[in-house]
Amino acid sequence: MPGTGSPVPTPDTDEVPVTTRVWCSVVMVPLASFMCMAQTSFFAQNFAQDSAGYTLMVLCTLLAFPAGFLLLARSEYPEATFWIACALVVVFPYDSLIALMAMTSLLARRSNRNTTIRATVGGTIVTLISQLRDALQQPKASIWHLIFAQPHTGGDSGSPMVMLVEEPTVIITATVASLVFVTIATLIGLHIRSRARLRTANAVASAATTHAATLQTDLTNQQLADAIAAEAHDTLAHSLSLMALNASALKAEAAKLGDSPEAQSLADKAEDIRRQSAGALEEAHSIIDMLRNPHQAWEQLAPSDDTSLTRESLDALIADTRNSGTSLNTWIDIQQLSVMDESIGKVAYRAIQEGLTNARRHAPGAPVSLEVSATPQAGVHIHISNPIATDATETQRAHGAGLPGLAARVHSVNGQCRYGMDDRHLFHVDVQLPWRS
């Protein structure tokens, strides 16, 4: 019989997700063939003296052997399998078991009401034909008569078959047994169908529960992101706005001092502070927008000319670093940046940005060396170094999450990131990236 497997909901059809069990096929196929051959061999006793009829029965017996393999198609073509099995039972003197097995498979795999009625009625008629055909034969050619025969009579015993019951009893018993067989086959098919539907319903309910839990998690995460965005807006963005305003005020005050070199230098530094704080404020607002609108975050995180490794963005980073008062020595060798993978370009830009920021933060006033080489053959290599006064432990503790975060980002594109202090108290950040991720 068919078994239930992993359900696949099919709400728009009458198909029921039932999986064919291999062990069921191993039992069903030989059993169906055996019963067909057994009833044919009894039926052939009617043609013991008729060579043409007996030859026909031999052919029916040979055909009965592969007939059982018809059941292997019950999973893909349950309805066709059932009606072909019914035709075989009606046309040839076969037992009805093959038709009942096919009927069970059809009822299990199809939930349409009309299909169920047709299969049940058809199976009942075919079973009655098969069993009554056997019961109405002469005793030596009938399995039912053999069941009700006195032991050691008929067959190979050499004595005539002696019946224990009257002929009507055999016919009535065959009729009742046919109805019982059909009822059992129907109940088995409906039971398998109900189990498959229950599994389908459980799978749908489980999927709905998982989806609801996912939505709840997303809602909770979004509420947390909104809270972080609000806090960042109220603190970080506010502080950056004040910094920009104070820088503008400082520039205005410097202008009142006249045209002296000191006043001009002060005004230039105030303008740099104002410009950098305005840029930082814009980036802060961008991050806040990503927290509030995560579905648009991937678009904002996509590489752009301002956040990817280009000659212009690299020149801007170097200029900002030097304008902040840092002595920066550079060695740049970049080729064919236009064909570089965009994701690699963004990671490279962030690596240079983080390395220079880290140097300014932890070694203010110290000279910084920047080396950048980018070729399709060797990939991208970035090396930043600067002297520091603290020991290695204090430096690592002061890094915060910047360099570890950079290392994670580099590793995500199959790159390598190393950083640390050597015995000459020089701190190094070394990043190697492939040309394509």
Query: Model's pTM, two decimal places?
Result: 0.55
Mean pLDDT across 149-175 = 81
pLDDT of residue 402: 76
**Alpha-carbon distance values, 124 to 70, 156, 190 (Å):** 20, 34, 16
- Predicted confidence (pLDDT) per residue in 212-240, tens digit: 888 888 888 777 777 777 766 667 766 77
Mean pLDDT across 112-136 = 94
Q: What is the dihedral of CA 249, 255, 256, 262, to 10 degrees?
A: 110
- Predicted confidence (pLDDT) per residue in 169-217, tens digit: 999 999 999 999 999 999 999 999 999 888 888 888 999 989 988 888 8
Mean pLDDT across 399-428 = 86
Q: Predicted confidence band at 5 (pLDDT cuts at 50, 70, 90)?
A: very low
List, in order, residues 6 or more apart from 140 with CB less than 8 Å away. Answer: 45, 154, 155, 161
On the question of pLDDT at 142 being above 90, the answer is: no
Please state, in angstroms and rounded to a whole number, the distance separating the CA atoms of residues 328 and 352: 13
- Cα-based angle 345, 351, 355 (whole degrees, multiple of 5): 150
Between 270 and 60, whose confidence is greater?
60
pLDDT of residue 291: 72
Per the prediction, the chain carries an average pLDDT of 83
pLDDT of residue 194: 92
pLDDT of residue 108: 93
Mean pLDDT across 394-415 = 74
Mean pLDDT across 90-116 = 94
